[in-house]
Chains A and B, each alone.
Chain A
Amino acid sequence: MPAKKAAAKSAKSNVSAEELLGHYREMLLIRRFEEKAGQLYGMGLIGGFCHLYIGQEAVVVGLEAAADEGDKRITSYRDHGHMLACGMDPKGVMAELTGREGGYSKGKGGSMHMFSKEKHFYGGHGIVGAQVPLGAGLAFADKYKGNDRVTFTYFGDGAANQGQVYETYNMAELWDLPVVFVIENNQYAMGTSVQRSTKSPSMWKRGVAYGIPGEEVDGMDVLAVKTAGERAIKHCRSGKGPYILEVKTYRYRGHSMSDPAKYRTREEVQKVRDERDPIEHVRELLLTGKHATEDDLKAIDKEIKAVVNEAAEFAKESPEPALDELWTDIYATEVQQEA
């Protein structure tokens, strides 16, 4: 990026071109990565369940922009975007998808179960809702240790109906745990729309019953997400306990790769793509604010494609795990280092 553009302010709020370009780049990385994962799945290189994040990119990119070093995050099986956004290596993520030695879990976790202690990413959990108390537990550990870290605990609109979520709300508020509950409301849990799963559609308001403040956020606007994230973090870091963000978003692809998506119309999806796409939104801001030219953006596109291709190559080339890996990592033999 030329330096003069980096210093310029965007048309909307006081956002620098540099920041906008950063968001653009990260969201694009997630989208291209997911498209590539979809391709590799089609080629039989990725097996099992594979849940793509396309359409929801602004959620994790906005919140990661608000987070500080040392903050933690935990989510469900729809986790590729979260991992890329917190700085995990696309090669290691993609190689885990293909079940290879070079994957973050040495190929033993797969798409739904990946972790990085280094990046404070605590999974990658396949049981709907189970990550919610786990996230509160991470926050519990930070509070116990007396640091000011915050944990982002992501879950879906479907997960939001699990009982353990409310058990966790109650204890998180009771003990003032520094946890941001992020409900990624993409309007569907597999084939069940929010309208068909609850009569109390404003999900963040359920926290009010436990004394937890929250708000609804436009999850297709990365800047709005970031601003809300900053509010939430400030609340948590100052010792006031948990905060809920209900982020309204949309997934473009099926629930997993094997979802025929008969529960919604093509038009519905197309309308969101046309009118609310989070990447297009930032692209517009960059172009209309004259922070970047079409050519600048094309260059970024090319760069990202190269990163993703490299990840895919690595994921194909990396060998399958050695057979004796079957028997490792079942029991720890020594005490784990503190996080």
Chain B
Amino acid sequence: MATEILMPALSPTMEEGTLAKWLIKEGDTVSSGDIMAEIETDKATMEFEAVDEGIVGKLLVAEGTEGVKVNDVIAILVEDGEDVPTGTGESKAEPAPAPAAEPTPEPAAAAPATPAADTSPDWDADVELKQTTVREALRDAMAEEMRRDEAVFLMGEEVAEYQGAYKISQGLLDEFGAKRVIDTPITEHGFAGIGVGAAFGGLKPIVEFMTFNFAMQAIDQIINSAAKTLYMSGGQMGAQMVFRGPNGAAARVGAQHSQDYSAWYMQIPGLKVAIPYSAADAKGLLKSAIRDPNPVIFLENEILYGKSFEVPILDDFTIPFGKAKIERAGSDVTIVSFGIGLTYALEAAEKLAEDGINAEVINLRTLRPMDTETILASVRKTNRCVTVEEGWPQGSVGGYISSVIMQQAFDYLDAPVITCTGKDVPMPYAANLEKHALLTSDEVVKACKDVTYR
């Protein structure tokens, strides 16, 4: 009996990987525990061990192939004397083009009745574009700003020699050296405070939290020291710095590692809060964040790190804070979202279009300052609004947005604002429960149908 060897998932968020190296060749005998291949995940290079015994009948994926999807057949084991069954796995085994682009939802081509919405990109039409992952975009943004300004440096756990727990800082240590790319001990409270002090002293730190879950240990320094000092000093000194890292649910990591802090930080005067969706957002916003003279909370998302988007090839591409992007124009309902919420919002908009409902999708990009003007202008047109976020319902970003709409566009509303959020529970581990706890695009579709009375 031939055994199919499948591309393994070697991290909670891995969807595809690179088959870096085969350590076996056709005709070899393998037994369980033998290392068969080296596979690069979105985080690290891992060794892949055999579980079954057999003779390597065929290697279906060539060494160096990028973008091999999890669960694709990569090799066939046969028993002694057995032939490789024809057709096995071959249809899936073609090397994916590199880099493997996630299909990004097309902006609505057919949105005739919506003259006001400006969905133009953040760059001129003649600018060349490059498919880039969010991960690469973040790295490029930091590298460009570090080249530009000697006062910018990166500190955090595993940012230097390990190249980043999520590989965001890959290559930075090589280029900038240990003075500017600094591994810290596991002491969030302490190193966040040292970062703030360094900013008081005139440097421009980028403090990476391995994830924002761990920034709770440092939140006093973020809020009491970084955000308030400019005010308390009557404008004499503040903290020009960025706190960044992945925020929100990853996948199957349970309650303590899966929380969206958007609404928390959004509340604090003195902080700015940016939350990119696409790679272009990530690059343009992070460069702006590093240059901003205030402390900026920069909320990334682990699941988005590996996704590819078009990023303009420009010497200096920045996105201003406080300017939302209309990802898709529409006339029937306004969907407001940010960060990974856009995944659900855009998916829902596609489904709604099939039913003849034309949704306008707004990507906030910064939560503080928040571009409420763009939200209000859209709501005045569509008369309905649905907000979409992964965080919890009570004290949510959507709750704030709906209060703004009520106070400033009440007369335009034809239906109550619906806030689509994550469920009001700690994140469960079990796969089925986790799925239920998270937001789905179907929930967004339903909310949009409710507010349009369809």
* A130→B232 contact, CB < 8 A: no
Known A116-B236, A141-B203; further 16 A-B contacts with Cβ < 8 A: A103-B234, A106-B234, A113-B233, A130-B224, A133-B194, A134-B196, A137-B199, A139-B197, A141-B197, A144-B198, A164-B190, A168-B190, A171-B187, A330-B231, A330-B270, A332-B235
Q: In the complex, what's the smallest C-beta–C-beta distance from A294 to chain B, in angstroms?
A: 42
Within B270-309, which residues are at the interface with A (CB < 8 Å)? 270, 272, 291, 293-294
B233:A138 contact, CB within 8 angstroms: no
B-contacting 9-mer, from A118-126, A191-199, A282-290? A118-126
In chain A, positions 102-142 with a C-beta closer than 8 Å to chain B are 103-109, 113-117, 122-127, 130, 132-142
Closest to A175 in B: B182
Using A332-B294, A336-B202 as known contacts, say yes or no to A164 and B189 having CB atoms under 8 A apart.
yes
Task: Answer whether residue A68 sits at the interface, using C-beta atoms and an 8 A cutoff.
Answer: no
Interface residues of A in 137-184 (CB under 8 A from B): 137-142, 144-145, 163-164, 167-168, 170-171, 174
Nearest-neighbour CB distance to chain A for B159, whole angstroms, equals 14
A138 touches B200 (CB 8 A): yes
Tell me the nearest residue of chain A to B235, going by C-beta.
A329
Closest A residue by C-beta to B223: A127
Q: Counting CB contacts under 8 A, is A274 at the interface? A: no
A185 to chain B, nearest CB (A): 22
Q: Is B269 an interface residue (CB 8 A)?
A: yes
The 7 closest A-B pairs by CB, nearest first: A137-B197, A133-B193, A167-B190, A141-B201, A106-B234, A167-B187, A338-B202
Do B236 and A134 have beta carbons less than 8 Å apart? Answer: no
Residues of A within 8 A of B185 (CB): 167, 170-171, 174
Residues of B within 8 A of A116 (CB): 236
Please list the residues of chain A having a beta carbon within 8 angstroms of any beta carbon in chain B.
72, 74, 103-109, 113-117, 122-127, 130, 132-142, 144-145, 163-164, 167-168, 170-171, 174, 328-339
Which of A115, A170, A333, A334 has the largest count of B CB atoms less than 10 A from its CB? A115
Q: Is B240 an interface residue (CB 8 A)?
A: yes
Cβ distance B2 to chain A, nearest Cβ, rounded Å: 55
Q: Is the beta-carbon distance between A171 and B236 smaller than 8 angstroms?
A: no
Q: Say yes or no for B220: interface residue by CB 8 A criterion.
A: yes
Q: For A136, list chain B residues within 8 Å (CB).
A: 193-194, 197
Contact between A144 and B231 (Cβ–Cβ < 8 Å)? no
Report B-chain residues with C-beta under 8 Å of the C-beta of A332: 230, 235, 238, 240, 293-294
Nearest CB on A from B450, distance (A)? 38
Q: In residues 176-225 of chain B, which contact A (Cβ within 8 Å)?
A: 179, 184-185, 187, 189-203, 220-221, 224-225
